[in-house]
Chains A and B, each alone.
Chain A
Amino acid sequence: MKKLGVFICHCGVNIAGTVDVKSAAGKMGEVEDVAHSADYIYMCSEPGQQIIREAIREKELEGVVVACCSPSMHENTFRKAVKSEGMNPYLCEIANIREQCSWVHQKEKEKATEKAEEIILATLEKVRENEKLEAISVSINRSVLVIGGGIAGMTAALDLAVGGYEVTLIEREQALGGHMTQLSKTFPDLHPALPDLLAKAREIEGHPGIDLHCYSEMEDVKGYVGNFELTIRKKATHVDWEKCNGCGLCIRDCPVDYVSQFERGLGVRKAIDLLYSHSVPNKPVIHRSHCRYFIDGSCRKCEEVCPEKAIRFKQKDERIGKKVGAIVVATGFDLYPGERLGEYGYGEIPDVIDGLALERMLSVDGPTKGKIIRPSDGKVPKEMVFIQCVASRDPDRYMPYCSRICCMYTAKQAKIYKEQVPDGQPYIFYMDIRSDGKGYEEFLQKTIEEKGLLYLRGRVSRVFQDDGKVRVLGVDTLTGKMVEVAADMVVLATAVVPSDGVKDLAAKLRATVDRHGFLTEAHIKLYPVESSTKGIYLAGCGQSPKDISDTVSQASATASKIQALLSTDKLLQDPLIAFVDENICSGCGICVEICPYEAREMDSRRGISVVHSALCQGCGACIAACPNFACELRNSSSIQTLRMMDTFMT
């Protein structure tokens, strides 16, 4: 019979305020195989753990039950404490008498004490049957996949490469940079966005430790933290990027123009073109849906004119396999689809554009070379209306959350507008001005004072075309007056939403997303960059809208977490997983389909099912499904569970 120890924690008043810990400790002491029973005000504190260590040493205990808070709080703490005394950590179990007893029965003190004693007795039953287990060590490969080549993905990739890890960076578009490439200048210092970004991109392109795959997407992923196996689909660019020297003749002679998504509908691209001028990598791609050859087999102009014969009409998508230890998801954001914003006339009135379109106008290499003009007639707008919270902070019809960056980029855009059009008047309809970053409030107030931006506190109910002008029906709640503006141009600060395709990417990665499609972090406060699935890390707007400096911080943070994860070449896995009793298992295979983590395979030679120890999360689905009771969870066998139930029933 094993000698057991019971240690009951007061947890200040949290437990002791309801459960009579002294009498419980006393009763536990009377149980015949309990060699030591004690209580202390804070078991998890240093002196508390000291009591446990001394008791194990003096009484040579072979099993310990700590009655305290939830196992998710301090199970590791107490298992480490018993391990330091040479006892197998898995012989130490937690009896949760706080969340499951004292906190919920604060009004019935004696019944709560009774219940606490029963919980401890049940846990003793469990410990009596527990076996000694060793953590499973799993070898990991020390490379990382970064999904998304925006500023978040680039920062994470660079940090990891500097840290000496192999990085695979995949980007869905044909060039790096994400939305930052569309920006003119960044707030609050009005630095031009592109130069620094391209410097970083070139650094990535040339870095030996980074394997860059643009115009590629992740098709499938298997495995677990430390051992992800994934297949990347490299979409056919129809140009041999090694051969192409970026001379640009093909782009010049391509007869087909189409309205470019990158230019937010304000500019055009050729069927074969770069994503943006002097992009990194500076390689063109043929877009099949616009290229005449793919439509009716005609043209082939680019092929004729290409000096390096780099055009590959027949090129097919390519698949390459990769093994990585951790994955950073940096998929970025999109703007809420404008067409669904009926009341603002977006898509119907040419002079109503969104924030990114105005950024394209303000960019020196944009469609209007930096000049703000009305898309309808090319005139300079003198009445410029900015509307904030378009589809943001609108729980009823659109998105309930705040998109965080619009107040700042709108103020920046209004400032640049006033510099370009001194006699123009910007009106900004807002609800709350949100300039809470470092130096943001000072920038905003200085701009309002010097440039004379008129902030009207109120939402806009409707925007409609009215003989050449764009009528805006808004309100100024500070004077309580309805406000109407016959504007020349309207810029909508539309809501930031996750980029499309994130939902099924998350499904593949078995990462969770919230109802809007933003990836869910493990803990909002303490683990903001880790996903709840081990080995998956989140950076940038994919997790929630944020500005560039917060995105960069979060990206570096993921790099730090991954360097910590992959610094050891072995990863310790919890041994509390399922196992199969070979002589009972009939090989029916039900457990293989049931397993949500694909941790079960059929061993064809012996005709029985086997557990993949690294993949199994110990969820117990297979145990419930097994018709012959052939499998059990380590240290949670059916006998133990039944014995624990008995202590409650009697």
Chain B
Amino acid sequence: MKIELTRHKVHNEFAKKVELISGQNLFACYQCGNCTAGCPVAFAMEVGPHEVIRYTLLGLEEEAVGVNTFWLCASCLQCTSRCPKGIDIARVMDALRSVVLRKKDRKDHIQIPKFPEGFLERLPQIAFVSGFRKFLS
């Protein structure tokens, strides 16, 4: 509930890395919440996209990567198309995923053998392929 801010924490390495991968400037964010308002899967997210961007800017890495927000993001780009400051929020979500995946210390990937019987046969390959680099609980 309480955080302590110092200049090293604010906009720290983690935030800079997310900005580098996504090519976006998180300081430009108004915190107006337009992205969360328009996100079709926000109902299932622990915190909205605008809040996870806020955590990233404040350098709160554990909190930022601990939420399911960017795993649920279907990159439908509704947020990007409506952001008044022109931030590509979908890229920020992908950058957060990349930061976690590239560290390779998370093991809770979805295991293919665990899929229900016949599920893979019915599933179109496109669903499977576009899901790469995204399947984490």
Contacts and interface: CB of A to CB of B under 8 A. Distances in A.
Q: A and B: partners?
A: yes
A481 B1 contact: yes
B85 A485 contact: no
Interface in A465-508: 476, 478-486
Nearest to A427: B5
B71 interface: no
A61 B102 CA distance: 98
B54 A479 contact: yes
Contacts of B25: 449
Nearest to A424: B7
A454 B57 contact: yes
Interface residues of A, number: 23
A431 interface: no
Contacts of B27: 448-449, 452-454
Nearest to B3: A481
Nearest to A484: B4
A196 interface: no
B31 A457 contact: yes
B125 interface: no
Nearest to B55: A479
A427 B3 CA distance: 14
Interface in B13-51: 25, 27-28, 31, 51
Contacts of A476: 54, 58
Contacts of B60: 479
Interface string A377-409: 000001100000000000000000000000000
B5 A485 contact: yes
Contact of A482 (B1, B28, B51, B58): B1
B97 interface: no
B10 interface: yes
Nearest to B8: A425
Interface string B85-96: 100000000000
Contact of B28 (A424, A448, A457, A480): A448
B6 A383 contact: yes
A583 B71 CA distance: 100
A398 to B, nearest CB: 26
Given A445-B28, A449-B27, A476-B58, A383 B85 contact: no
A486 B3 contact: no
Contact of A485 (B4, B28, B31, B55): B4
A445 B54 contact: no
Interface in B55-97: 55, 57-58, 60, 85
Contacts of A425: 6-7, 10-11
Given A427-B10, A454-B10, 16 more contacts: A383-B6, A424-B7, A425-B6, A427-B5, A445-B28, A453-B27, A454-B5, A454-B11, A454-B27, A454-B57, A457-B31, A478-B54, A479-B54, A483-B2, A484-B4, A485-B5
Top 5 A-B pairs ranked by shortest CB distance? A425-B7, A482-B2, A449-B28, A484-B4, A481-B3
Interface of A: 382-383, 423-425, 427, 445, 448-449, 452-454, 457, 476, 478-486
